[in-house]
Structure 1
Amino acid sequence: MEQIDRRTMLCAIAACVLAAMSRAPAARCSPVRWTIPVGRLPAPAGALIQLPGDGNQLALTVDDGASVPVVDAFAHFCQDTGTRLTFFVNGANPSWSVNAPALRPMVASGQVQMANHTWSHPYLNRMSLDAVADQIRRNADFLRDIYGSDGTPYFRPPYGLHNADIDRVAADQGYTTVTMWSGDVGDSRPENEASLIANAAKSFQPQQIVLIHANLPTVTHCYAQLLDLIHSRGLQTVTLNDVFS
């Protein structure tokens, strides 16, 4: 009888530990209170690499969207935590149409922002300027049709490749701010969770624009750790529209 009681007690302890572990991510990912930034600045013309000033803002920018489940996971992450971010969309990827019902309310509220990353992510420096214009225009039409906003003036050229002619073509369509980045999590190629978190630890600093991709599933396994980094450093996530008028 004593042996049975001990086994029963150990099983009960194990069950409590597992239950606590299963609840931990939800507690860690509770929505955060967001304060409206004061003194928004005009969006800069030309290349934008990091946020101005010496505040505690962090601009998370998420590119591409080649994976429907990864974009879905980002949408739920934002819903569950209140995180604010900017998506640089390739409209050719079905993820932006499939997940539009989840994303549209957050776009409407301003928590999530959509911006232009071209229609299908080509090397713009290998195309005619007419083709460059078509890539930008087609994606702008998609964003207006699906999300009600074309994301102007923010444009991110695929692979970060641009020149004066490409910038001029983008500006002619209202995309006067070529949005680059000052940090990344290294997920433009496959990497493990430890590497991704190590890169984020370097990049999650005040006033940085951080590049993430919605292509590979690794990032979806790291949301709790990424949120811990943001909170532990006292950073406030912002969209580009939160900072610039």
Structure 2
Amino acid sequence: MFPISLASALTLLAGLSTIVAGPTPRQNGLQVINNCEVSGQVALTFDDGPFDYEGDVAAALGDQKATFFLNGNNYECIYDRVDQVRALHAAQHTLGSHTWSHADLTKLDEAGINSELQKVEDAFIKILGLKPLYFRPPYGSYNDLVLQVLAQRGYKKLFLWSEDTGDANGESAGYSQNVLDGVVGDFPKPHLVLEHSPIQSTSGQVLPYAVPRLESAGYRLVSVDTCLGGNGEWPYEYIGEPGTPDGSWTC
């Protein structure tokens, strides 16, 4: 074995720590996240809103926090849900982009990807005065071009998940409850769970069942920026004061 200096050894160990502990940096610092990193924490994430049940999801969470990856015009136009979006933000849930129309970005060219991102960013800026820096791709589908465009637009994280409750795939509430029972039994390992707020059974049946069980197991329910520990950051870029709805706030 060849001798190495103490400085070299420390450099090597630091590199190994980066490889093991954190997600791999991609495309100028943009990171793909598959799971949370902080022991004893679960990030429940809700895609495809805003729709009718965001308030019900928040009520089922109580004082716990979650993440909502919002579309601009999917189940409903985001400009028709301004009060809902602002209420989620005021309650300190984290809000991220899920594209404008829930498009599969891998099927679009660069201009199409930029359009899907720009329109939902414009809505965030009008409603909150903030540009989102966290993103979840519809269907979990992305490629190198998607990563390149996200990085060029300043995004920090692309989020996937460790568990899918299957609610958007037509699975029963019981199936979703069983998925979350598996998380309960895995304490204290961290988890990043995919759910969908427009599915009524998620807020009406699954969360009232699962949230107390997760809490009793010792889990803290947090937003994705919290569950990454030191690898998280403020998930927005401040642009200015929120706007006032007018005739241009349409889909």
Task: Tell me the TM-score range normalised by the shorter chain.
Answer: 0.7 to 0.9
What's the CA shift for 1:99? 4.0
SS in 1 for 2:52: helix
Tell me the residue number matched to 2:214. 230
Contact 1:91 1:143 in 2 (8 A): no
Matched residues in 2 for 1:207 and 1:190: separation? 26
SS in 2 for 1:118: coil
Tell me the residue number matched to 1:64. 48
Tell me the residue number matched to 1:216. 199
User: In the alignment, is residue 122 of structure 1 matched against residue 100 of structure 2?
Assistant: no
Tell me the residue number matched to 1:23. none
What's the CA shift for 1:101? 2.0
- Closer/same/farther in 2, CA of residues 43 and 151 from structure 1, 3 Å limit: farther
What's the CA shift for 1:189? 1.6
Matched residues in 2 for 1:120 and 1:177: separation? 20
- Closer/same/farther in 2, CA of residues 188 and 107 from structure 1, 3 Å limit: same
Between 100-109 and 172-181, report the one with greater CA deviation. Answer: 100-109
What's the CA shift for 1:98? 4.1
2:162 to 175, 182, 189: 182
- Closer/same/farther in 2, CA of residues 96 and 203 from structure 1, 3 Å limit: farther
The residue type equivalent to 1:209 in the other structure is L
What's the CA shift for 1:159? 0.4
Once the two structures are superposed, what CA deviation does each residue of 1:90-131 show, in whole Å capped at 9, x if it has no partner? 01143644443244244145x211101110011111111110
User: In the alignment, is residue 104 of structure 1 matched against residue 86 of structure 2?
Assistant: yes
Contact 1:113 1:151 in 2 (8 A): no
| Structure 2 stretches lacking a partner, 5+ long | 1-21, 234-251
Q: How does 1:40-119 map to 2 (within 5 A)?
A: 45-53=30-38, 55-65=39-49, 68-78=51-61, 81-93=62-74, 94=76, 96-108=78-90, 111-119=92-100
Matched residues in 2 for 1:96 and 1:225: separation? 29
Matched residues in 2 for 1:112 and 1:239: separation? 7
Q: How does 1:187-206 map to 2 (within 5 A)?
A: 187-204=167-184, 205=186, 206=189
Matched residues in 2 for 1:132 and 1:215: separation? 24
Superposition TM-score, scaled by structure 2 size: 0.72
Larger-gyration structure (1/2): 1
* Structure 1 or 2: more helix by fraction: 1
SS in 1 for 2:99: coil
The residue type equivalent to 2:154 in the other structure is G
**Identity across matched positions, percent:** 26
Matched residues in 2 for 1:98 and 1:207: separation? 35
2:129 to 131, 134, 148: 148
- Closer/same/farther in 2, CA of residues 108 and 73 from structure 1, 3 Å limit: closer
The residue type equivalent to 2:37 in the other structure is P
Contact 2:106 2:142 in 1 (8 A): yes
User: In the alignment, is residue 134 of structure 1 matched against residue 115 of structure 2?
Assistant: yes
RMSD: 2.3
What's the CA shift for 1:42? 11
Superposition TM-score, scaled by structure 1 size: 0.73
Matched residues in 1 for 2:176 and 2:191: separation? 17
What's the CA shift for 1:230? 1.3
